[in-house]
A and B are shown apart, each in its own frame.
Chain A
Amino acid sequence: SQQGEEDPQALSIQEGENATMNCSYKTSINNLQWYRQNSGRGLVHLILIRSNEREKHSGRLRVTLDTSKKSSSLLITASRAADTASYFCATDGEYGNKLVFGAGTILRVKS
């Protein structure tokens, strides 16, 4: 069974706007990762945040983690049409040895 839920299921924004996606999970984790998937393609790793971290940045990406609420958010700033894709959060278990994915958020950036 999948670990958690992602919210929203779909998001449509204009180029230049920010996009925020949320992820909730159920069990203790070692780390949480975000992946992007373009239609029909494999998964591309975006960013990883460890359970003892609260916020992490990578380029236009900002990830937060609240282990007390078992939730994470991914913010993409100044979105581009090329950001159009599905985004998945995945939790790496307490012993850090397998990824469990959420259902994903479909992001569409209109130019």
Chain B
Amino acid sequence: EAGVAQSPRYKIIEKRQSVAFWCNPISGHATLYWYQQILGQGPKLLIQFQNNGVVDDSQLPKDRFSAERLKGVDSTLKIQPAKLEDSAVYLCASRDSEGGYGYTFGSGTRLTVV
């Protein structure tokens, strides 16, 4: 089965610019997650979707971050405007809510804000 696809793989932007990341989960996976992983730290959950609805966005900095999952499939995460401290790897994961405990992670997008 195909994995979780993310793009772009790398992105370098200047502070105050905007950026968007894309994620295509495993086909049929109802639950999708975006994690932020700052260098030297473990991943931190930003937002969780169940189909096209938000389940948990308590740790999403909503003044600058937004995410959507139209039609319950692909998802985009946007940052506007970016700050230096947003430099991190942004990981997308999906999970089949029908059973099992397996989470599948994408390769991530490495964002550098200069």
Chains A and B form a bound pair: yes
A residues touching B (Cβ–Cβ < 8 Å)? Answer: 2, 30-31, 33, 35, 40-45, 48, 88, 90, 92, 96-104
Question: Residue on B with the closest CB to A50?
Answer: B101
B41 touches A103 (CB 8 A): yes
A-B contact pairs, 21 of them (CB 8 A): A2-B44, A31-B101, A33-B101, A41-B107, A42-B91, A42-B107, A43-B43, A43-B91, A43-B93, A43-B105, A45-B103, A45-B104, A92-B101, A97-B31, A97-B97, A98-B33, A98-B48, A99-B33, A101-B42, A101-B44, A103-B40
CB-contacts of B61-114 with A (<8 A): 91, 93, 97, 101-108, 110
- Cα–Cα, bound, A30→B95 (Å): 15
Question: Residue on A with the closest CB to B9?
Answer: A40
- Cα–Cα, bound, A2→B35 (Å): 12
B56 at the interface (CB under 8 A from A): yes
Q: A42-B91, A97-B31, A98-B56 are in contact. Are A2 and B42 (CB under 8 A)?
A: yes
B101 touches A103 (CB 8 A): no
Write out the residue numbers on chain A whose beta carbons fall within 8 Å of the beta carbon of B45: 98-100
Of A41, A96, A104, which contacts B101 at CB under 8 A?
Answer: A96
B103 touches A99 (CB 8 A): yes
Q: Is the interface of A mostly helix, strand, loop or mixed?
A: strand
| Residue tally, chain B, CB below 8 Å to A | 24
- Pick the most buried of B33, B48, B93, B105: most chain A CB atoms within 10 A of its CB: B105
- Cα–Cα, bound, A71→B97 (Å): 26
Q: What is the minimal beta-carbon distance from B11 to any residue of chain A, in angstroms?
A: 14
Instruction: Give 9 closest A-B pairs by Cβ, nearest first.
Output: A101-B42, A42-B107, A43-B105, A42-B105, A101-B43, A103-B42, A104-B42, A88-B42, A102-B42
Question: Residue on B with the closest CB to A43?
Answer: B105
